[in-house]
Chains A and B, each alone.
Chain A
Amino acid sequence: MGALGLYGRYAMASIKGQLNYPASFVLLTIGQFLSTIVEFIGIAALFSRFQSLGEWTLAQVALFYGTVNIAFAVADMISRGFDVFGPLFVKTGEFDRLLLRPRATPLQLLGYELRLMRLGRLLQGVLVLAIAVSRLDLAWGLAETALLLAAVAGGVAFLLGLVVLQATLAFWTVESLEVANTLTYGGVAAAQYPLEIYHNWFRQFFTFVVPLSCVAYFPIVGILGIDDPLGAPRWFLYLSPLFGFVFLAMALIAWRLGERRYASTGS
């Protein structure tokens, strides 16, 4: 059974386990939906007062917001294994058991749990996205759909890469460093606005060091069909989500190094 098929099995098993507690799942999901939508309510209120954010309208910002939230929700749903990697796998030695299975360990960690409750954020993101699309006067064709899917896919890859990097730290230090949470949640909080509004150094960090803008800003500008205020050429807008995958690939390389270290120092 290939990797994708196996992941499907893992997901089914996890869902089955969670559906044993249906009330809890429903409550948590609704709670998450509410917690996340208040963010957008805040943004809408600000637009109501200030009318615009430079060149950007509420509908446009909603497109950024929705896309980033959808990508984050998906990444969050599948990344629990990496979140708890340090305390539940390294500290306890459970990682040995993963190494004893003839599969790549990242795949096994992805399969650890599918956090259904993140559907709350996902639904919220879809809702906001729908609002954005309905209020924007866009010619929605193949290119736009492709860009949207690429942005979400690239976003998921990028955010997953961040979580993998944080988990990799656990191979070296016992202390749990919550750095990546800052970058994931913080990055998402920042990217719900078009990254253009921020100062230069902030944008540069999130383009060249941590390629958040490649998955959360440029492709969306592409969808909006406007000229990028930052001056990026058209072809770059289409290619940028790839950097999310590049980032993930680099994170996985770091992971392999960490694995090797684990195998040479023991647990």
Chain B
Amino acid sequence: MRDAGTGPYRAIFAARFLMMLQYRAAALAGIATQFWFGGIMVMALSAFYTEGGGSASITRAEAITYIWLGQAFLGLLPWNVDPEIAVMMRTGNVAYERLRPVDTYFYWFARAMAWRTAATLLRAIPLLLVTSVVFDWVGLGAWSLQPPQSGTALALFLLSMVAVVLLSSALTTLLNISVVWTISGQGINVFTNSLVLILSGMVIPLPLFPDWAHLMLLLQPLAGLVDIPYRIYFAHLSGAEAIAGIALQIFWTMLFIGLGHLCMTRTMRRIQIQGG
């Protein structure tokens, strides 16, 4: 059913994107909260670095950069379900999804991608600007976001971020699909949220976990959401390692897209059974 070309997917992307951009006021309030939380994490981590023993493979400045990048791109984490889907389920409008002359999975994928990127764009720019440039100006340089290690690092980082968007959209779509399957219409995100937070590196940067866990943590899919791109940014992963990291992101993305696509037919059938 792809004879419609990419038109419908671009259309839904644009629609959702523009709609999300309207939530400016909420975004502003959210940004303040993020400065706060990021700040607390930075302060606590700084205290560990200065006053603790032991050693870490990433420096304090790198860890702080890691945290601020995490806050800036928080919107990309697949941690909540698209409220539109929940509403569609409740009202029964979800049945209309079957009527559209598109591949439902990719339709939902495009929708998820729009949602994540729009939510992120609103917050990322001010957060990145303030934590890097403004912090230096006002003398908070010790806690600021560092610039990328090099031009190559930056380029690889951007590639990696594209992979993050795709990976996150794939996971988000799986979450949205789960909403159709759970009785309460809440989705499995109730459980996956905690996993996403800790295994991506949002609670603490993954390199700070015990050494014996490092390989496991790197290979699991959620590392590709936060850990891999940010370590590429400050060249903790560089050259061949960086490429391998991006490849790992792509691998998991393809897997989840495949899984989601497979689920979609059965999901659509279930919607029909439920009477929509």
Complex: A in contact with B (CB within 8 Å) = yes
Size class of the contact patch on chain B: 35 or more
Give the residues in chain A near B33, CB-CB below 8 Å.
178, 181-182, 185-186
Q: Does B208 contact A (CB under 8 A)?
A: yes
Asked whether B194 lies within 8 Å of A27 as measured between CB atoms, the reply is no
CB distance from B16 to the nearest CB of A (A): 23
Q: Does A97 contact B (CB under 8 A)?
A: no
Give the residues in chain B near A42, CB-CB below 8 Å.
198, 203-204
Give the residues in chain B near A54, CB-CB below 8 Å.
47, 51-52
Asked whether B203 lies within 8 Å of A24 as measured between CB atoms, the reply is no
Asked whether B191 lies within 8 Å of A41 as measured between CB atoms, the reply is no
CB distance from A229 to the nearest CB of B (A): 11
CB distance from B139 to the nearest CB of A (A): 13
Q: SS class of chain A's interface: helix, strand, loop or mixed?
A: helix
**What is the chain B residue whose CB lies nearest that of A189?**
B40
Question: Which of A104-112, A191-199, A247-255 contacts the other chain?
Answer: A191-199
Considering only residues 28-66 of chain A, those with a C-beta below 8 Å from chain B are: 28, 30-31, 34-35, 37-39, 41-42, 45-46, 48-54
Asked whether A198 lies within 8 Å of B47 as measured between CB atoms, the reply is yes
CB distance from A86 to the nearest CB of B (A): 13
Give the residues in chain B near A30, CB-CB below 8 Å.
190-191
Give the residues in chain A near B208, CB-CB below 8 Å.
45-46, 49
Q: Does A190 contact B (CB under 8 A)?
A: yes
Give the residues in chain A near B37, CB-CB below 8 Å.
185-186, 189
Question: A39, A49, A179, A197: which contacts B56 (Cβ < 8 A)?
Answer: A49
Q: Does B151 contact A (CB under 8 A)?
A: no
Considering only residues 95-138 of chain A, those with a C-beta below 8 Å from chain B are: none
Q: Does B197 contact A (CB under 8 A)?
A: yes
Q: Does B11 contact A (CB under 8 A)?
A: no
Q: Does B273 contact A (CB under 8 A)?
A: no
CB contact under 8 A between A182 and B48, given known A28-B190, A46-B204: no
Tell me how many residue pairs across A and B have CB atoms closer than 8 Å.
Answer: 104
Question: B53, B56, B193: which contacts A31 (Cβ < 8 A)?
Answer: B193
Q: Does A23 contact B (CB under 8 A)?
A: yes
Count chain B CB atoms within 10 A of each CB in A39, A46, A48, A190 and give the residue with the most.
A46
Q: B197-219 CB contact bits vs A (8 Å, 1 = yes)? A: 11000011000111000000000
Asked whether A199 lies within 8 Å of B43 as measured between CB atoms, the reply is yes
Q: Does A21 contact B (CB under 8 A)?
A: yes
Q: Does B1 contact A (CB under 8 A)?
A: no
Asked whether A38 lies within 8 Å of B198 as measured between CB atoms, the reply is yes
Asked whether B52 lies within 8 Å of A50 as measured between CB atoms, the reply is yes
Give the residues in chain B near A189, CB-CB below 8 Å.
37, 40-41
The distance in angstroms between the C-alpha atoms of A34 and B190, with both chains bound, is 9
Asked whether B198 lies within 8 Å of A41 as measured between CB atoms, the reply is yes
Asked whether A48 lies within 8 Å of B210 as measured between CB atoms, the reply is yes
Give the residues in chain A near B184, CB-CB below 8 Å.
21, 23-24, 27
Give the residues in chain A near B32, CB-CB below 8 Å.
179, 182
Q: B32-55 CB contact bits vs A (8 Å, 1 = yes)? A: 110011001101110111011111
Add 19 more A-B contacts to A48-B210, A51-B54 (CB < 8 A). A23-B184, A27-B184, A27-B190, A31-B193, A31-B194, A34-B194, A34-B195, A41-B203, A42-B204, A45-B209, A49-B209, A53-B52, A54-B51, A54-B52, A179-B29, A182-B36, A190-B43, A199-B43, A202-B43
CB-CB nearest 8 A-B residue pairs: A50-B52, A31-B190, A54-B51, A34-B194, A42-B203, A197-B47, A51-B53, A38-B198
Tell me the B residues contacting A by CB distance below 8 Å: 25, 29-30, 32-33, 36-37, 40-41, 43-45, 47-49, 51-56, 183-184, 186, 190-191, 193-195, 197-198, 203-204, 208-210
